[in-house]
Amino acid sequence: MGIKKWYPNQHDYNARDFCIRNNIKIWRVTVSNNKYYIGLEINGKETRDPEYYSDDESLRKYYEYCRYYYDKYKDKIK
């Protein structure tokens, strides 16, 4: 039996949209075939996740960051 592919849910999409609307920039960067890292820019400060991820893991991590910043700022900004 193969590994089950992960897909975002509605909460993930809402968190992503919140980040986009509020200029919280999160993106996946391809380093090589099936090797990615996550870049972030918040309040003009750019950083990156130090880890490397597979395609599926990087998608999951991308939405994890979206949810984190949504949960952190949802009551402070609209």
- Examine the pLDDT at 5 and tell me if it is beyond 90: no
* The model's pTM: 0.88
Tokens found for residue 70 = 């949504």
pLDDT tens per residue, range 39-72: 999 989 999 999 999 999 999 999 999 999 999 9
- Examine the pLDDT at 2 and tell me if it is beyond 80: no
For the chain, domain boundaries: 19-73
Residue 69, CA distances (Å) to 34, 59, 65, 66 in order: 26, 16, 6, 5
